[in-house]
Amino acid sequence: MKPTPGQILPVVSTTSLLVQLWIEQYGSVEVINHKTGERCSMTFKPCGLFGNELHKVEGYILDKSKKKLCAIYGKWTECLYTVDAATFDNHKKTDRKNSDEKKGNKQSNVDEEPEEIPPPEAETVQIIPGSELIWKITPRPENSAKFAMHLNELETSMEGVVPTTDSRLRPDIRAMENGDIDLASAEKKRLEEKQRIARKNRTKSTDEWKTRWFQQGPNPHNKAQDWLYLKGYWDRNYTNMPDIY
């Protein structure tokens, strides 16, 4: 699997200089069946200025000779459909033509820039005739937002159990969650400077520096260079941990 990391895309209005941020996942992902040679090649699409492609994903399942077996499309936040590859390709051609015409009309009707560019609104998935639903997101339970906020909480029972490098121990995050933004900002700067000094010291040291839980080596499935788990993390042997905070 070769994912492209998600990125935070800022949108800045040139008139008001107001900034709004939202999160996008975009790039390519390929999932390979190393026994049969079949693969699923997917593209997570960037949303663009008007948000037409927000959260959209599309791609194909191919056999070992790279022949398209079917197409997959939808939104990674909502649902996925599968359809015949030829039908999908024809739909894309028509959809692209209509989109270009619509975009041209939008631009010609704009008299002046808005004071602020809002985060794009996601369009609903346009279902292609002959498609089959293969996945749909489960509705979120009540108070799910509150639950997500608690994921970073550090309970008393966890102290001394998690390693000292655990992100829940980051002082800047703790300060931010406690509402002390000034302290959070100061701690963030301090940690960044500490990281720079540590990196500089490693280059001067004659000792070979090694990562603790992963090392680079050939992936057993495709022989490409990859990060391989060295095991040991779940043994809770957290002695001689570096002081990163």
The per-residue DSSP string of 118-169 comes to PPPPPPPP-PPTT-EEEEEPPPPPTTHHHHHHHTT---GGGTTTS-TT-GGG
Distance CA(82)–CA(125), nearest Å, equals 13
Cα four-point dihedral sign 216, 220, 222, 223: positive
pLDDT at 219 over 70: yes
Q: List the structure tokens of 171.
A: 């002082």
Summarize the confidence of residues 97-113 as an average pLDDT.
59
Per DSSP bridges, beta strands 68-75 and 79-83 are antiparallel
110 has pLDDT over 60: no
For 30-79, the pLDDT digits (tens) are: 999 988 999 999 999 988 776 678 889 999 999 999 999 999 999 998 99
pLDDT exceeds 90 at position 194: yes
pLDDT, position 221: 83
- pLDDT score, position 124: 82
Q: Choose among 86, 95, 57, 94: nearest CA to 74.
A: 57
Residue 2, pLDDT score: 45
| 3-class secondary-structure state, position 11 | strand
Residues 3-16 as b or e (16 or more Cβ within 10 Å = b)? eeeeeeeebeeeee
Work out the average pLDDT over 204-232.
89
Could you tell me the residue ranges of all domains in the chain?
7-136, 144-235
Average pLDDT, whole number, for the chain? Answer: 82
pLDDT value, residue 196: 95
pTM: 0.60
Q: What is the band of 96 on the pLDDT scale with cuts at 50, 70, 90?
A: confident
Q: CA separation (Å) from 218 to 171, 211, 213, 221, 226?
A: 37, 16, 16, 9, 6
The mean per-residue pLDDT over the stretch 148-172 comes to: 84
- The one-letter amino acid code at 116 reads E
Asked if the model's pLDDT at residue 180 lies above 90, the reply is: yes
- In sequence order, what are the beta bridge partners of 227? 216
- What is residue 103's predicted lDDT score, i.e. its pLDDT? 60
- Evaluate if residue 118 carries a pLDDT over 70: no
For the four alpha carbons of 33, 37, 42 and 43, in that order, the dihedral sign comes to: positive
Spell out the long-range contacts of 44-48 with Cβ–Cβ below 8 A and sequence spacing 24 or more: 44/4, 44/76, 46/9, 47/9, 47/120, 48/120
Q: What is the pLDDT of residue 7?
A: 41
pLDDT band at 134 (very low <50, low <70, confident <90, very high): very high
Higher-pLDDT residue of 132 and 7 is 132
User: Which one has a higher pLDDT value, 50 or 169?
Assistant: 169
